[in-house]
Amino acid sequence: MATLLEQYRSKLVTADKAVKSIKTGDTVHYGAFCGAVWDLDQALAARVDELEDVKTITTIWPYSEPPAIVKADPEAKRFKFNSTQFGAVERKMNRQGSCWYIPVQFREQLKYFTQDVDLDVAMLRVAPMDKHGYFNLGPQVADAPAIVNNAKTVIVEVNEKMPVVHGMQNAIHISQIDFIVQGSNLELPVSIGKEATEVDRKIAAHIVERVRNGSTLQLGIGGLPNTVGSYICKSDIKDLSVHSEMFVDAFLNLYNAGKITGNKNLDRGKMVWTFAMGSKELYDFVDNNSLHHACPVNYVNEISTIAQIDNFVSVCSCLELDLFGQVNSETAGLLHIGGNGGQLDFVLGSYLSKGGQSFLCTPSTFKTKDGTVTSTIKPTLSQGSIITVPRQVTHLVVTEFGVANLKGKSTWQRSEALINIAHPDFQDELVKEAEKMGIWKNSSRVTA
């Protein structure tokens, strides 16, 4: 049997040679998050005149510029770039007609790649091989195990700067790999949330006053969840744990402030997550740190997993909601903004948790490009809006004006609670619209 070193040498090729395995009509996974490939993308772009109908898939393109295949084929005549979640670059490409969204339930993606997607080639960026023949996936496990297991050809792009992360199903053995490419060792892409606004701070304050000692936190993507984390750092809240789809800098700050003990009743002592993106300090913190337990998304986001953890607190942002309590976190009318991630799963799981709370947060108003200020709480959702969280499961909604608990409320009580946290400039208008819709009546007020 060949030694590991002999196997390594036999599979080591240039990026140009590795992508020769990609044929017209193939479906190619590009890796996800910080595991998205770079050198292999450049090499594939160089074959733009040789290939047709190549479909690529990722989950958030992490770099600040579009993929090389998109720049080489801006009209998408040969390459179709797809993503199951959208970041800023994907949003821009989508508007230009060079990127498509795949609607998914994130926790189901392992099953998609097992039974619903015929994957020809998987390309992933990984850490260097260890002495046992394993390549660590770095700060993202997500759906990678199913992608590797079901792709006909597996190519890894080695990056010596990739953190080695502890966890579950978080490595690929050399026996599973067809080609190894030594990458250019770029720094991992840094993702820093926007600076908090005054509205963010007011929303965060409403949430933090409801967080109890001993809670387990899930913080979503964006500036608001990071603001919640910074407020907890300054509070008296203690003995917190982490179980989150995404590991963000807010958790690092909470750990450094002594707030995280990991004393939860499931995976005790571990910070559990499925992918991490943030600062260089965050990547250094997760590197070879046994406190971290990066797991596949079908474990982290599984509703029954979340429900087992007492005092679970989920904090996510949304774009708009209506007086029925339906929540849109994906589109601005017909304009696609982002994927749903695990938002629905954490809303459902948090409520099933003993003492659990899920907060869906939005500023009360939004300013359009022409300067018009509109309410994010609307009588009905805008045309083209996607329902990310159905009204039956919405729990706590937060704006800068307060918190509305929709659980167990009639349609009239829900509309009243939401109008109470809408911007005062729009409350009278919302009442009139609620009356027209038949969910705000004097008889409702008397009998409710």
Residues annotated as catalytic are 245
Residue 387 backbone phi and psi in degrees, to 5: -85, 105
3-state secondary structure of 446: helix
Distances (CA, A) of 248 to 129, 177, 242, 281: 26, 30, 11, 11
83 forms beta bridges with 58, 101
CA dihedral 377, 381, 384, 389 (to 10 degrees): 90
Residue with tokens 């911007």: 423
* Calpha distance 72→76 (Å, rounded): 9
Distances (CA, A) of 119 to 27, 54, 70, 98, 114: 5, 11, 20, 21, 9
Query: What are 140's two structure tokens?
Result: 């993202």
Query: What are 348's two structure tokens?
Result: 């459902």
Whats the size of the chain, residue-wise?
448
Query: What are 433's two structure tokens?
Result: 């619209």
Largest CA distance in the chain: 82
Query: What are 413's two structure tokens?
Result: 């009580």
CA angle 118, 121, 127 (to 5 degrees): 130
Distances (CA, A) of 17 to 40, 63, 157, 181, 409: 10, 24, 13, 9, 61
* Calpha distance 189→185 (Å, rounded): 12
The answer to whether 302 touches 344, Cβ cutoff 8 Å, is: no
DSSP state string for 55-96: EEEEE---SSS--HHHHHSTT-SSEEEEESS--HHHHHHHHT
Nearest CA among 402, 401, 404 for reference residue 322: 404
